[in-house]
Each structure stands twice: as C-alpha cells, then as structure tokens.
Chains A and B, each alone.
Chain A
Amino acid sequence: MIVIIDYGAGNMFSVRNALEFIGVGCKFSDNPDELRKADKLILPGVGAFPDAMKMLDGRGLTEVIKEQARVKPLMGICLGMQMLFDKSFEFGETDGLGLIKGTVELMNPADLVVPHMGWNALEKETPCALSESFRDGEYVYFVHSYAAVCSTANVAAYSDYGGKIPALVFGGERESVFGCQFHPEKSGGVGLSMLKAFAELPVVA
C-alpha cells in the first residue's frame, strides 16, 4: 500500500487518480502510524514552500517522513520534490526535509518565461532505479518557478529550459528517495510508467 501524505496539497487527488488507473493501491493519510505501516510514500505538493513545510510541521509529519525515508521508497512530486532538499529560498529561507543535498532557488532563464510551464523533454543523467521507466527525449509536464540546485550525482534526468533544470532527482542512503519536478500524474503515459516503476520497487525493510 502506498500512502499519499495528506497535508492539504492540491494535486493529491490527481496522484490518486493516476495510481488507481494503473491498479496501484493507495490511500491518503496524515497519521504517522499509517506512514510507518506503508510500503511506500508519496509526498505531493503544489504551492509555496514555506506554507507547505509549515503544514507538514503542523501535522507532526516532518520527523516521521525523515525517519521513514530511510527505510522505504519515497517520491516527492513538484513542490514535494523541492521539499526533499536542504532548504528553499522561496519567500525567504526555509529548511526542507534535508533528504537530498541541495537548495531550491528561483529560476532565471535568459529570455524565457517563468514559470516554466508546459511539456519539456527529459535528458538522462545519472542512472537511478526509475531510469528504465522512461526514454531520453520523452516529454513530461512541468509547472514551477523554483528549481533544485544540486549535484549531478543526484540528477537522474534534466530538462533544458535556459539551462539544465533537475527534473528527476534521487538520493538517500539507499538511493530510494526520488523527486519529480514535473507532474508524473499529468504527464500522460510517460508519467504513468514512472509511477508504476516506483510502485514496483522492492519494499525496503
């Protein structure tokens, strides 16, 4: 059972729709015990970083996510991906979950519009456990103004938008923490295939 961490993120229903469509059992929960019982966790997210971290803290979820990310696969989506990093500079400076080394900063692509919104192609970088689920050049759907700044060793795929934007990142002691800057739940077949690959990862005990 995958638990979609419920802290009020707007895209959690789309994530559930996508998982149900590919036949993967899931439920919403903000109960730490449920997070501990889950096989895998998904951290959705749409909106602003400080508010989202505050909502996680307010529900007492920050520590349990950090703890559980060491023993089972976790996928952060969009803002949920950004929250995996050490800190963000969106509206000041806010600490993230610190599961992947790096920061989240405002994009500043020369002559291009921010937000980066629309379909952009994935370019593979460092292989991770989800890398087989997509091909180089396949398009996924992005909507974001801030982007991760981190080591290429943690980047499984980039997209080009006035520079290399980390699109799929991974990290953690067991390399079982994943983050999608794009929305796999809105990225057609490619996104579904990535979610399926995540759902089929071995459960780390």
Chain B
Amino acid sequence: MLAKRIIPCLDVRDGKVVKGVKFKGIKEVGEPVALAEEYNRQGADEIVFYDITASHEGRGVILDVVRETARKVFVPLSVGGGIGSVEDFREVLRAGADKVSVNSQAVKNPAVIREAADVFGSQCVVLGIDAKRFGNGKSGFAVTLNGGRTDAGLDLVEWARKAEKLGAGEICLNSIDADGTRGGFDIEMLDAVCAAVNIPVIASGGCGKLEHFGEVFEKTKVSAALAASLFHYGELTVGDVKKSLRDRNIPVRD
C-alpha cells in the first residue's frame, strides 16, 4: 500500500531559506542544502523548494541549490515559484528536480500544463493552487492569485478538474483561509478537490500541531501533507509526525 507522504517546504529567496530556522546541530542556519539534508535524515518523503526570488539573477541561485541538493539527497525534489513555460520546466528538471510546480502562471496560461506534460510527462507537473472561500464560486471556493489578495475568477473545483484533463499529475492545494492560522488543514476544501479529481492531492496550509497531520489523512483522501514553519522552527520533526501517524495506523515510510 502506498505510504502517505510528509513534505517539508523550504521558501528560498536569493539562495537562503526565508522563514526562521532553529535546528540543533546545524550551523549554516538558513542554508537550503543543509536543511534539505536534515529533512532527508528525518525521513522527509519529498522536499519542496519554493523560490520566492523576485529578481531574474536569483533564478540561477535556486538552480544551484537544486543541483547541489540532488547530489546529496536521494528522495524526490520539487521546485516551484515563478514557473511559467516549458523552458522553465526544462531548466529546473535539468538541475535535478523531479517535479515542478506551476501556480499563478498556469491560471494565466493553462496550456503550459499540457505542454509540460507532453514533453516531460504528467508525473513531474504539479499544479499549485491558492484558494479561499468565496461567495460567487460554484463550489464555494475560488482560486486566488498574489497570495490570496486577488480573485482569479476561477472556481476551485472546476480549475482542478480542468488541470487534471490538461495533464497535471498532482495538485498541491493551499488554503488561504487556513494558511497561517495553525488551526489545522482545511478539511472541507481538500475534500471538495479530492472528490473531484483522480490525481494525488497534497494538503497545504493551516497545520499547527502534530494531530493535524493525522486528522487530514483520516478525514480526507489526500496523498500527502506539506508544512513549512512547523518544521523550520524545530517544533516538530518529520520523524515525530511519522511516529504519530504510525500510531494511528496510517501507512508511512519508515
């Protein structure tokens, strides 16, 4: 049986991890490669680098980070942030990433999903979606841009279905309503998307404590859960999460 995946996400700007990091025994605080190695030791099933670099020069830096990590960490690596073209996909995959996530630029140009899936295969195309509750969305949830500030004019469930048809291999669904609240993953929103598509869904946003991981796997059909600050601040290790899931009879990789 497939194991449920636990995925730490590193927000990287100009080659440094942005959110504060408090790990014992790691001197290079903020070094993405060292952190990726630490998460790998803890048992992360996949590692996501989210590039929030605004400048074009910073682009090369994240590629270096991926290249170096790929020489030391042997689990799937995923990269997102600023991806908009097949050429962007190619660059990141060549650096050693296994998956690439595309978010707002796919809203503007959905064809990029199909183009990338045709060239590189669906398995490496992850659609990132930031969504929130919105009165005029058919499913009650709307896709947003700019970290939730702008309504993209798309219904969440319709967008997820369309992306699957276009060839997305996975959806990483971040709930803007839950994000930052630490009150738990957005079960209702995740459920709506899991029921609508037949590709793996990754839960993102809202996780604040150990129990939230068990809750999201017990109450929804998500394949994976992603968290950033919980892990960065050293409040929990990936190992803690897996132990707690194992205790709840949820299959995880040792």
* Chain A contacts to B: CB under 8 angstroms: 10, 13-14, 17-18, 20-21, 46-47, 113, 115-121, 137-139, 141, 143, 160-161, 185-189, 191-192
| Complex A-B: 23 CB contacts under 8 Å | A10-B120, A14-B74, A14-B98, A17-B71, A17-B96, A21-B71, A47-B121, A113-B198, A113-B200, A115-B123, A117-B200, A118-B3, A118-B5, A120-B2, A120-B3, A121-B1, A139-B3, A143-B123, A160-B1, A186-B98, A188-B40, A188-B74, A192-B74
B106 within 8 A of A: no
Which residues of the other chain, B, contact A116 by a CB distance below 8 angstroms? 2
Residues of A within 8 A of B219 (CB): none
A160→B251 CA distance, assembly (Å) = 13
Residue of B nearest to A20 (CB): B71
- Chain B nearest CB from A158 CB (Å) reads 12
Interface pair A186/B200, CB less than 8 Å apart: no
Question: B72: which A residues are within 8 A, CB to CB?
Answer: 21
* A118 to chain B: closest residue by CB: B2
Instruction: Specify the chain B residue showing the minimal Cβ separation from A185.
Output: B74
Q: How far is the CB of A121 from chain B (nearest CB, A)?
A: 7
B74 touching A186 by the CB < 8 A rule?
yes
Assess A117 versus B169: contact at CB under 8 Å? Given A18-B74, A143-B123. yes
Residue among B45, B96, B169, B253 with most chain A CB within 10 A = B253
Specify which chain A residues have a CB less than 8 angstroms from the CB of B74 in the assembled complex: 14, 17-18, 21, 185-189, 191-192
Residues of A within 8 A of B123 (CB): 115, 117, 143
CB-contact partner of A141 in B1, B40, B75, B224, under 8 A: B75
In the bound complex, residues from chain A placing their C-beta under 8 Å from that of B75 are 141, 186-188
**In the bound complex, what is the Cα–Cα distance between A143 and B253 (angstroms)?**
16
Bound complex: CA A188 to CA B37 (Å): 11
B85 CB within 8 Å of chain A: no
B185, chain A: closest CB distance, angstroms? 19
Chain B interface (Cβ < 8 Å from any Cβ of A) = 1-3, 5, 40, 45, 70-72, 74-76, 93-94, 96, 98, 120-123, 169-170, 198-200, 223-224, 253-254
* Whole-angstrom CA separation of A13 from B74 in the bound complex: 12
Alpha-carbon gap, A192 to B72, bound state (A): 11
Q: Are B254 and A139 in contact (CB under 8 A)?
A: yes
A20 to B68, CA, bound (A): 13
Which of B40, B70, B93, B170 contacts A10, CB < 8 Å?
A: B93
A192 partner residues in chain B, CB cutoff 8 A:
74
Q: Which residue of B1, B5, B94, B200 has the most chain A CB atoms within 10 A of its CB atom?
A: B1
What residues of A have a CB within 8 angstroms of the CB of B200 in the complex? 113, 117-118
With A17-B70, A115-B122 already in contact, 15 other A-B pairs whose C-beta atoms are closer than 8 Å: A10-B120, A13-B96, A14-B74, A17-B71, A117-B170, A119-B3, A119-B5, A119-B45, A121-B3, A137-B254, A143-B123, A161-B1, A186-B76, A188-B75, A188-B253
The residue in chain B whose Cβ has the minimal distance to the Cβ of A161 is: B2
- Return chain B residues, CB-CB under 8 Å to A161: 1-2
For the complex of A and B, list the 9 residue pairs with the smallest distance between their C-beta atoms, beginning with the closest.
Answer: A139-B253, A119-B3, A119-B253, A143-B123, A118-B2, A17-B71, A120-B2, A186-B76, A188-B75
A113 to B221, CA, bound (A): 12
Complexed CA–CA distance, A161 and B1 (Å): 6
Contact B70 A14 (CB under 8 A): yes
Whose C-beta in chain B lies nearest to the C-beta of A17? B71
Min distance, Cβ A133 to any Cβ of chain B, angstroms: 15
B253 contacts across to A, CB distance below 8 A: 119, 139, 188
Contact between A14 and B223 (Cβ–Cβ < 8 Å)? no
* A84 to B194 Cα, complex, angstroms: 36
B249 CB to nearest chain A CB (Å): 15
Determine the distance from Cα of A188 to Cα of B3 in the docked complex, in whole angstroms: 14
Tell me the nearest residue of chain B to A187, going by C-beta.
Answer: B74
By the criterion CB–CB under 8 Å, are B2 and A119 in contact? yes
